[in-house]
Structures are given as structure tokens and as C-alpha cells.
Structure 1
Amino acid sequence: MPPDFDVVIVGAGAAGLSLAYHLSAPGRATPLSVALVDAPPGPLRAPPRTWCFWEPPGGDYDSCLAASWRQLRVRAADGSCTVSRLGQLRYKMLRSDAFEALVEQRLSRTAALCRIEAHVSAVRDVPSDGGEVLTQDAHGESVLVRGRLVFDSRPPSRLPPARTTLLQHFTGWFVRTERPLFDPATADLMDFRTPQPAHGLSFGYVLPLDAHTALVEYTEFSASPLDTDGYRRALYNYTGKIMNLGQLHVTAQEHGVIPMTDGHFSYRQGRSVFRIGTAGGATRPSTGYTFAAVQRQSRAIAAQLRAGRPLRMPLPYGRRARAMDAVMLRALDAGRVSGADFFSRLFRGVPVERLLRFMDGSSRLHEDLLIGLRTPVVPMLRTVVELPVRPRRERPATSASPSPISSTGHEESTP
């Protein structure tokens, strides 16, 4: 039986929506039929999330950004600040509900693209004839969706064996203050005045929407997430004692867990089934940033398919970038370097656009070498020697699975 669609995309997170968006771009191209399969509204659909990235003004999603900033600030543990003007770049904040509305608008104008709301139970390769997505509709009836190519963007159920695995876990509050306390032109990328864990690091993250409102997050890189009370205490401490925001109103919150690992994510699940997004290796191990790599990956996939060319799956990051990430993660996890000092030193000593290229995985060899000279050389070299003999181990499934980013709409006031 021939496939129902040329392309089936499973999941409507950042990776699934981005691929659907780029496949449906206007202009001359090979006609493609595309199905985007996602859970219907309810507990299995991911709630609103926030994605951040940097690029020049005039990007594809500028019309639906929540905010953007010309300056980034990093505060060291002693309170000293490094403020960097971004020049030709902007640090951008995109909310998932606005992005989904933009993609839906484009899909509605393209007859060959459709969205299917169903629960996905399995994705499997059919070697002789593409891939299959097994689903159940709202009435519990089984529905089989076939595609010549299938791209699965669901989060991984288990992380791959790795020498080092940390989790970037966070909880953020959207806050409104009585006094105008935020600088709308400056985002606080990392504020290391927070208490630091024994292994890993912690920091505050502040994205102002205007002088009175901001997304304020407490973030850790460590082996395990905190419980709900742990995040609440950390945010009370950060907003009250460290930032001294005074009386504030919390209008919403979000929570997330992002894997930071030197394990190898296999993007290929068969001849016709591919993993994209975090499950396909798009998360940068040293920082947790994912959105920019997802855009590169989805643009490259769409360009090949729309041109009628055979797919050569693009890799989100090169070998050199992943090797440098493995060294940094191991040095951080072993306690050989102070995470707060490590990142504060980089932002203080490296031109910000060069450092952002490194964080994005697009820096050149000579730039990587110059950045390497700004790191603690002896601990890093010791880690380079140690890594080849360290075994790769699996994490237990209960702690390995990244929790979906969640958001709730409750409101509360804090002193």
C-alpha cells in the first residue's frame, strides 16, 4: 500500500512545528503532502513553553516574538557585572503558543499539509515502503498514518549511555512588580549570586518584558532535579533577598528539564524514520540551547525535500563542538572547575559575538582555541586525558527521561 503522505511529523513541539513551517514555505518547490500528528488538547499535550535564541533582526519569527534584547548581562558570584552589546544580533524570546499560531496560519493556506490530532502509540519503520505511525483518535479507534519519510520529534524516553550526564533543570515565574525595576533593553543571561551546588552550577535568569514585568528563572546544572518546594525556596531567595524585588505578583510559571550529556543520540530509527529535536541531538550539551540548532536542522531537511533531492540528515553539531562539550561537562561534574567562575570568565574575556558563535556550535577552529585559552587550562587538560578511558554508562530510566516543560496559570503574591 502506498504511503498516505510524503512526510509525517510526530509531535508539535519546537522541532515538529519548525519542520512543518519550513516545509510549507512559499515559493517554487517539489509538491509535498505533509501530516503533523500531535496529541489533542488535554494532559498529553505540552503546555505553553518559552524558547530563546539569538540571530539578527528580521528573522522568520520576529512577528510573534514576546520580546528581544540588545544587551546581555552576566553577574559573577561577587556581584560584578559584564554587560555586552550584541551589535548585529538580538537575543529573542518566543512563546510556544504564538509560534504554534504562526505555523497554523501557514498550514491553513497550504492544501497539501494537514494536522491530525491523535495519541501516538508507536512509530515504526517499514523497510519496503516508508514508515508508519500508530495512533488512536478521540474515540479510541486505531488509525494508521503512513509516510514516505517520518520525523519523530517526541522527547527521548531514555538518554544514551554517556561518560557524563547532567540535567539543566529550572522553574521560572512570570512576575509583575509594583516599582519599575527591570531594564527592558537588557536580559540577565546568568546571575551567579545564587548559592552554588557542590557539583554543577546554579544561576538566575531574567528576561524583562517591560519595566514592571519579567520572566525570572532559577536554573541548576546538576545530577537531579529539585522538588517543588526546592524551586520555590530558590526563587523566593533569588527574587527577594538577591534581587530585592519587594512585593511582586506571579502570573504564571514554567518548569523544565533539559539533558546535558556527551552521549550519542542516534537520529536514524530505520531507513525512513528519523529523530529530530532533542532526541536527534539538537540540544547543545554544554548550554542546553536547542532552538537555533532545530532551525538549522529543519531548514536543511526542508530544502532537500522541497528540491526533490534524497535526504542526507544534517547533524546539529560537529565533532569538535561535541568533544569540547564533553570536556566541559566532565570538568564541571568532577568539580575541577567552578561553573560560576568558568562562565563569568568567558563572558568577561571573550567578545560576545564570538562566544555566542561558540555556544551555537558555529565557531571556527581558531576561535575555539582563543576561547580555550580563557578557561582553566590545567583542569581542562587533565580532563582531556581522562575522558578516553572513562566508560559510558546508562542512567536509570526513571531519572533519565527529561520531564516536559510545563506551565501553569495560577497567580500568587510574594513579599
Structure 2
Amino acid sequence: MQKQYDYIIAGAGCAGMSLLMRMVVDPFFASKKILVVDADAKQQNDRTWCFWETVPDLFEPIVHHQWKKLDFYSNHFSSELSIEPYTYKMIRGIDFYNYVKASVSKSPNIEWRNATVNKLVNTTFEFVGSNEIAGIELVDGEIIYADYVFSSILFEPIKAAATEYHFLQHFKGWEIKTATDCFDSSKAVFMDFRVSQEHGTTFMYVLPTSPNTALVEYTLFTEQLIEDAAYDMALKKYIGEKLQINDYQILHEEKGVIPMTTKKFPYYKGGNIYIGIAGGQAKASSGYAFKFIQKRTAALIDAIKNGKDLSFGKSLKDSKGHLYDAVLLNVLHNRKMPGDEIFASIFKKNKASNVLAFLDNESSLMTDLKIMSSVPTGIFLPAAFHEMKQLM
């Protein structure tokens, strides 16, 4: 069986489109035959991505709003956070999709198909000469081959092993427009833990994009989901009581679930390369994924162009971050310390920029040690020893 494409991108979400955009802007891929397959046409504003960075990256033209200052609130510690040299940024899903699709439309070597991928062809490989090829099988039975398949599709629910933790970051957000100017659009609320913690680690964030518009999102880190009505009740209460806003309209709603898990995701199998959440790019201790996806897709592009093996996995920094994530989830799972107290202690005792670097797996060992000393050693040290044993 011969290949039909050089590359197939299975799944056109954040990871698939990020990889595709990096191919579009690089002349190396202008002669490559690329197929993108997704069941959804990506015409809805279905999500918002927030992230921080020091240097503008590929998607800077579609940053919807950005902030240099963040507010942190809890019943244990509250402060305005100066995050220099970082900037906190927000990209809307619809802007992201439209931006990539508009760029793709100018590239005749890229084909887009609205179809459902049934599975990856990753158990039996066909050979052409000495070249191994991979592929996808669509629900209608059609099989399409390429040198590499980059897949962000989770074909089955995530199942963590007994020694792994599986939390969910689940959220619902309202973009609201107020009757009068109520917001300072120069800073955002990064975390506000002054809400009920009955379900587990719970906070609000508020992202003002103008004096009278903001995205207000109710976010939880828990092992179980809650009833849909509970999100609405919490949002309404917070907007009325904490923001002191009663006259507003809801312009847009978004809702989602992101895995926060220490499960070891595969990075590759033969010619199938896993990206996005399917490749473990959602950080287990926070659910943040956007920048991890950008680092992963940029590394893949570099490897392709330089003829390197694409079967690379986590870096040393990522492995270190994975251990720290496991320690935090261990403490939360065993209810040794509430999440709001943990984050309050970390932000109280450290520079905000160091905390952001830590959450990005980019901090130095000295910074790591300082942040780890911010929380009670009697709680976190036994958890750390336990998780290190799991790695041996």
C-alpha cells in the first residue's frame, strides 16, 4: 500500500491547527502533501485559551486581549501580582480557527476533509521499499496512508492506573456586558478562591476586555463533575456579590472539561505521533495546555526539517514537572491540604513570575526549591517520597 500524503493531521483542535499553522508559514512544507481530518467544521467560538509568555509567538496577531497585571484573591492571601517579564494573553477559539483556515486556503498542498476518524492504523504497517508508513481509518472504512500521522484524538475515555491520579479541570464561563463601566481592562483576576470550596479546589477568574465586557469563569479541580445548574448558580452569585454587578447581559457561554492526570500518555507508535491532550500536553497540576502544545509542535517541526527521529518524548524539565504535578495531586487526592491554601501559600511567598515559570516547567532548580519550601514540608515531603518511589 502506497502513501497518499506526506503528513496527516487527525483532529483540528488547538494542537492539530497549531502544527498545521507552523507548516503553513514554513517554506519547507510548501511541497508537502498534507491532509487535515476533523468531523467538525470549526465554525463556533467554543473555547478560550489563556497563557503567559515573555516573547510573542506564532499566534500573536489574534491575541484578543492581554494583561501585565493580575489579581489573586483568597481568604488566606490576596494581592495584585506584577508578572513582568510575562504577559498574560487570551485567544478566542473562533479567531484561532478562522486565522488558521484563512492561511490554509492559500496553500494548494493542504487538503481539509470533514470526516470522522475511527482509529489510527498503528498495529500493522505497510512497507514501500524501506519506508514505514502509518495511516488513519475513517468511519466508512476508508484507510488513508502517510509518512506520519499527527493525532490529537482521544478515541477512548482516559483511564488512569491505580498508581496514577485523574482529576478534571471543569469550567463554565459567561462573557458579560454590563450597563455601565465596571472593569479595569488593564488587569485580570487570575484566581479568586473566595468562593465555596465544598466540591474541592474552586476559583473564579475574570478577564476584562473593555470597561464593560469581561469573561467570568467558574473553574474547579475535582475528581468528579458537578450538576450543570451549579455552575450557573455560582456564576450568578459571584457576579452579584463579589463583583457587585446586577445589570448585565450574557453575550456568550463556554463550558469544558480538561484532564489533569498523571497518566503516562504515549508520544508515538510507529509513524503515529500523538499531540495535544492525547500526547499529554495538558499540565496535570493546572490544566494549562496552550503553551505546552506550542512547544511540542515547534519541536516536531524542527525535528522534521532536520531529519531527526520524531519518537522523542518528555524533556528533563517536563519529567521534573510531571513529578511536581504528581505530588500536588497526591496531596489533593488524599485531602491533606485544600487547594486554595496551597496556591495562596505559593503566591504569598514567591514572585509571581517565578510561579508562572514553575507552572510552565521552565523554572530553575533554585526556584523549584524555594516554591516547594513555601508549602508545609510535613505534608508535601511524604507525598514527594511516595511519588518518587512510583518512578523507581
Could you tell me the TM-score, scaled by structure 1's length?
Answer: 0.86
Any residues of structure 2 matched to 1:16-415 within 5 Å, and which? 16-28=16-28, 31-41=31-41, 48-56=46-54, 58-77=56-75, 81-125=78-122, 126-129=124-127, 130-136=133-139, 142-155=141-154, 157-159=156-158, 160-161=160-161, 162-197=163-198, 200-268=200-268, 270-315=269-314, 318-387=318-387
The C-alpha deviation readout for 1:144-180, integer Å capped at 9, x for no partner, is: 3211111111135222324322111111001111121
Deviation at 1:135, TM superposition (A): 2.0
Task: Give the Cα–Cα distance (whole angstroms) in 2 for the partners of residues 240 and 195 of structure 1.
Answer: 15
- In structure 2, how many angstroms separate the alpha carbons of the residues matched to 1:327 and 1:51? 26
Structure of higher RCO (CA pairs closer than 8 Å, 6+ residues apart): 1
Query: Equivalents in 2 of 1:150, 1:336: separation in Å?
Result: 43
Higher mean displacement: 219-228 or 118-127: 118-127
Assess if the C-alpha contact under 8 Å between 2:68 and 2:187 holds in 1. yes
Q: Distance in 2 between matches of 1:11 and 1:326?
A: 28
Shift in alpha-carbon separation, 1:319–1:103, aligned structure 2, 3 A = same
Tell me, in whole angstroms, the C-alpha distance in 1 between the residues paired with 2:126 and 2:137.
17
* Distance across 1 between alignment mates of 2:301 and 2:164: 34
What does the per-residue CA deviation read over 1:45-91, in whole Å, with 9 as the maximum and x for residues that have no partner? Answer: 8762111111135322121111111111110125x531122223211
- The one-letter code matched in structure 2 to 1:128 is E
Is this contact kept in 1: 2:168–2:257, CA < 8 A? Answer: yes
Greater Cα offset, 26-35 or 188-197: 26-35
Query: Relative to 1, partners in 2 of residues 1:388 and 1:81: Cα closer, same or farther, differing over 3 Å?
Result: closer
Is the Cα–Cα contact under 8 Å of residues 30 and 306 in structure 1 kept in the other structure? no
SS at match of 1:289: coil
Determine the structure 1 residue equivalent to 2:130. none
The answer for the alignment partner of 1:400 in structure 2 is: none
SS of alignment partner, residue 188 of structure 1: strand
SS in 2 for 1:209: strand
Task: Indicate the SS of the match to 1:309.
Answer: coil
State the distance in 2 between where 1:187 and 1:375 align. 25
CA distance 1:220–1:120, shift in 2 (3 Å): same
Bigger mean CA deviation after superposition, 314-323 or 178-187: 314-323
Give yes or no for contact 1:31–1:306 (8 Å, CA) kept in 2.
no
Three-state SS of the structure 2 residue aligned to 1:283 is: coil
The one-letter code matched in structure 2 to 1:259 is P
Quick one: which amino acid aligns to residue 99 of structure 1?
F
Tell me if the contact between 2:267 and 2:311 (Cα under 8 Å) persists in the aligned partners: no
Aligned 8 A contact 1:336 1:379 in 2:
yes
Mapped contact 2:190–2:206 kept (Cα < 8 A): yes
Counterpart of 1:232 in structure 2: which amino acid? D
State whether residues 4 and 147 of structure 1, in contact with CA within 8 Å, keep that contact through their aligned partners in structure 2.
yes
Contact 2:24-2:30 within 8 A present in 1 as well: no
Q: CA deviation at 1:263?
A: 1.6
Q: Is the 8 A contact 2:187 2:208 kept in 1?
A: yes
Work out the CA distance in 2 between the residues paired with 1:313 and 1:22: 19
**Paired residue type of 2:151:** D
Distance 1:77 1:305 in 2: 49
Counterpart secondary structure, 1:111:
coil
Aligned-residue offset at 1:210? 0.6
**How far apart in 2 are the matches of 1:307 and 1:385?**
40
- Kept in 2: contact 1:167–1:223 (CA 8 A): yes
Q: Distance in 1 between matches of 2:360 and 2:228?
A: 31
1:20 partner SS: helix
Q: Which runs of 5+ in 1 are unaligned?
A: 392-415
- Structure 1 vs Structure 2: percent identity of aligned residues? 28
Q: What is the identity, as a one-letter code, of the residue corresponding to 1:34?
A: I
Secondary structure of the corresponding residue to residue 128 of structure 1: strand
Aligned equivalents of 2:297, 2:36: Cα separation in 1 = 14
Shift of 1:99: 1.1
Q: Which moved more, 1:239-248 or 1:249-258?
A: 239-248
Three-state SS of the structure 2 residue aligned to 1:60 is: coil
> Deviation of residue 186 (structure 1)?
0.8
Q: Distance in 2 between matches of 1:156 and 1:185?
A: 41
CA contact (8 A) 2:30 2:107 kept: no
Q: Is the 8 Å Cα contact of residues 262 and 285 (structure 1) preserved in structure 2?
A: yes
Give the CA deviation at 1:28.
Answer: 4.8
Distance 2:141 2:328 in 1: 46
- Shift of residue 390, structure 1, vs aligned partner: 7.8
Within 5 Å, which residues of 2 pair with 1:5-16?
5-16=5-16
